[in-house]
Amino acid sequence: MTTAMEHVATYWRAANYLAAAQIYLRDNVLLTDPLSADDIKPRLLGHWGTVPGINFVYAHLNRLIQEHDRSVLLVTGPGHGAPGNLANLYLEGSLGERYPEYQVGPTGLRRLVQSFSWPGGFPSHLTPATPGAIHEGGELGYALATAFGAAFDNPDLLVACIVGDGEAETGPTATAWHLTKFLNPRRDGAVLPILHLNQYKISSRTIFGSMTDEELLSLMRGYGYAPQIVEVGQDEQQILDDHSQMARAIDHAHRSIEAIQSAWRAGNGSARPRWPMLILRSPKGWTVVDELQGTAIEGTYRAHQVPIPDPKHSAEQRNALEKWLRSYQPEQLFDPIGNVIGAWNAWLPTGDRRLGMVPQANGGQLRRPLQRPAWRDFGLEIDTDQRGSVTSSDTQRCGDFLQQVIADNRGRFRIFCPDEIDSNRLSAVFKATDRQFLWPAPDGSAPEEAEHIAPAGDVLEILSEHTCQAWLQGYLLTGRHGLFPSYEAFISIVDSMLGQYAKFLKRAGEIPWRQPVSSLNYLLSSEGWRQDHNGYSHQMPGFINTLLNKKAQHVRIYLPPDTNCLLSTMHHCLNSTDKINLVIASKQPMPQWLDVDEAEKHCRQGISIWRWISSYNAESPDVVLACAGVYPTAEAVVAARYLFAVLPELRLRFINVTDLLILEQQSFHPHGLTDQDFQHYFTTEQPVVFNFHGYPSAVKQLLWNRPHTERFRINGYIEEGTTTTPLSLLAANHIDRFTLVDQILTITAVQHPEWREQCEVLRGEFKLRRESMLAFAQREGEDAEEFQAWHRSTIETLA
């Protein structure tokens, strides 16, 4: 009678065969004939070294699911282990359910083997096209944090995460080991990390693979885990013992997880729960040939990628490959045309218990629209006759709005932030929730010494942008909603992660069975123009440029100029799907321009002519003054008021842009203006001075295909700054009010020779005023009071 472990071992052997065959074979996929050169693919791609370990874990997770009826999501960290995942997805039927051409049987098996790393087929890493995947594994380091993001607010879900020992060397993974300290056993699911050690990377030793058992156990205990070591593959004759050892370890881990969760849900859990984790030691390329042409293969770095490199052209290597493939005894697993022989796969999970079909891996099908409060209820009253007379922190008001969002959406909306909620003036959210952090202070500090920290909360703060990004990705891709507030200067830490996620969204949008997920929303509110005490290191607006290179259908960049526009923008972003929304706003008190009706219309259009600060009607302007961003807008408004006071004959059109990608041609971006609409705003020939929040190159990139762009003068951040006053920083980068006045007077003198002498006199006066105010800042350590004189009548008096 066949035992359960024998079924698992046979299944594992089948998965190994199919994975190896995918890397090498284009024909004769079941070796019904002697292997020939024509049977070998012309390009051998993929990584074998980690695959047997992935298959080993996958097989035992299947057994756990089947025996305990457990919902399990697998996050696979090793970068190019897709042959293993695909083999298992094929055998469990998930691949065939998503793609009928891959159904278990003759056609499906042949197609699986032939199409791997073939044009139009599956690549060597996981993608959104892979059932069950929420993590691609392309860039290493983020699997474990993503797994924790998936576990939050999923109390019945077990997220198993395979971490390769190469990946374990990355900084993000080193941080992610700490994340059990944020996991609440009452309201969240569980994460079971499985550290897979096979000692080698591409060509060198791994740190973790070189550590002794004692060192590994001490390290993981220090992180707060209860680790177990499972060492397998030392004796091929003891393979059933290896499987039995793994089964015992996983069962013990499962019992430990259930005990922790049961105790917490009964109200008597430990304050420092020690979650289980497994350390799996296996040979590199386990089950491959021992050696090739006198050189060791199994257990060495040579098994990392394609262990037999050229069987197509070398008969000796081809014989070694055939011997290796036949060692899995495919004739005992499949009949000559590809049907399964016997019942070795009959025990596998079915339905949505399969790792490839777990609903959380296709989070869009679980997503429910967010309950959004009416943003107008949080808007500011604006006197449209005295615009700018009211100042307010845009993000502080947004915090009030987000407080209500949290209150209305318990369990499906979280804020992930690198310890910057208070700094970014979003503290109102703590009226509705706390920062979730499980471990108490060892000295028993009183609660008032750690405000708004509790075992359960909807805000998670950690000083790791990588972790926040991965948390949010895992949370969104499993069907929920979230927000990532951060400092503008440091959000670029996640540039490459953003790139990977943008690719995930792009590819997911091409997969019919992938349902839309909630958008990934960034709120950058400590922007570079007001880093008074932090200085030059905190003045980096380049994240905009990073997003501009991503697929247009998935990227939006918003620069709301005031509070009401920010509220309208956030209301929109929290309802959108399959987008990466970048919102940049001010936390400092700044002048308020638009009432709620105007803000709603402005944000809906993405661009507006502000007639209240333009010359009368402004249908035939001498010059267009455009702006985007809180500080560039404020400076542009003041500049316009100066000009109206000293040169009332000037016909000035004032344009504000809040949806930056409106500038791109419609053919390139779905929000882009048509050429006709672009001319409506910017005319066809008149000079344009554009005051911009970030690097001028961003606007130049958006305008490059528009006609007559040589007439645009773009001001923006040009890498000038230090610890200085706001006006000094603006002036150093030439986006201050006086520079704008000077630029427009220079243009006007050319356009209107009859005003040239007047313009030159005015330029001299404003230059003196600029120098006087900068000297005051240098002497007194702060800007002159008149710099904050946003109200129109005061500015007219000054002018």
Confidence band (pLDDT; 50, 70, 90) for 668? confident
Give the pLDDT band (50/70/90) at residue 115. Answer: very high
**For position 335, what pLDDT does the model report?**
95
Is residue 185 situated within a structural domain? yes
Task: Read off the pLDDT of residues 292-313 as tens digits, 9 standing for 90 and up.
Answer: 999 999 999 999 999 999 999 9
pLDDT of residue 798: 52
Q: Residue 128: pLDDT band by 50, 70, 90 thresholds?
A: very high
Which one, of 223, 232, 195, lies nearest residue 78 by Cα? Answer: 195
CA distances from 490 to 264, 485, 525, 580, 618 (A): 37, 11, 11, 17, 40
Q: Is residue 594 part of a domain?
A: no
Q: 212 and 145 in one domain? A: yes
Amino acid 616: pLDDT = 66
Give rounded-to-5 percent helix, strand, coil for the chain.
45, 15, 40
- The stretch 86-111 carries a mean pLDDT of 97
**463 found inside a domain:** yes
Q: Is residue 370 part of a domain?
A: no
pLDDT of residue 532: 63
Closest CA to 387 of 591, 198, 126, 674: 591
- Domain boundary, last residue among 533, 563, 589: 589
d(CA 341, CA 335): 6
Could you give the number of structural domains in the chain? Answer: 3
At a CB cut-off of 8 Å and minimum separation 6, what does 690 contact? 626, 627, 628, 699, 712, 713, 714, 715
Pairwise CA distance, residues 757 & 343, whole Å: 96
Q: Is the pLDDT of residue 564 over 90?
A: yes
The DSSP letter of residue 573 is H
Distance from C-alpha of 481 to C-alpha of 468, rounded to nearest angstrom: 14
Angstrom distance (rounded) from CA 473 to CA 610: 38
In a domain? residue 78: yes
Residues 618 and 544 in one domain: no
Lowest-confidence region among 102-106, 310-314, 539-543, 582-586: 539-543
Is residue 452 one of the residues assigned to a domain? yes
- The model's confidence at residue 793, banded by pLDDT at 50, 70 and 90, is very low
Same domain? 92 vs 168: yes
User: Quick one: average pLDDT of 321-343?
Assistant: 95
In a domain, 55, yes or no: yes
What is the 8-class DSSP label of residue 419? S
Q: Judge residue 677's burial from the number of C-beta atoms within 10 Å of its C-beta, 0-12 exposed, 13-18 middle, 19 or more buried.
A: middle
Cβ-in-10-Å burial (0-12, 13-18, 19+) of 720 comes to middle
Mean pLDDT over residues 187-192, rounded?
Answer: 98
Q: What is the pLDDT of residues 751-776, one digit of tens each?
A: 999 999 999 999 999 999 999 999 99
Statement to judge: residues 578 and 619 lie in one domain: no
Q: Using the Cα atoms of residue 103, residue 104, residue 109 and residue 112 in order, give the sign of their dihedral.
A: positive
Same domain, 264 and 211: yes
The Cα–Cα gap between 630 and 770 comes to: 21
Whether 387 and 479 share a structural domain: yes
Q: Which of the two residues, 216 and 136, has the higher pLDDT score? A: 216
What are the backbone angles phi and psi of residue 504, rounded to the nearest 5°? -60, -45
pLDDT, tens only, 397-422: 999 999 999 999 999 999 999 988 99
* Cβ 210 vs Cβ 26: under 8 Å: no
CA angle 152–158–160, rounded 5-degree value: 105
In the predicted model, what is the mean pLDDT of residues 20-30? Answer: 97
648 with 571, same domain: the answer is no
| CATH code of the domain in which 344 resides | 3.40.50.970
- Round to whole Å and give the CA distance between 96 and 112: 10
The domain in which residue 144 lies consists of 4-349
Q: What is the mean pLDDT of the chain?
A: 94
Averaged pLDDT for residues 115-119: 93
**Are 175 and 290 in the same domain?**
yes
Q: Is residue 400 part of a domain?
A: yes
Residue with more model confidence, 536 or 315: 315
Q: How confident is the model at residue 528 (pLDDT cuts 50, 70, 90)?
A: confident
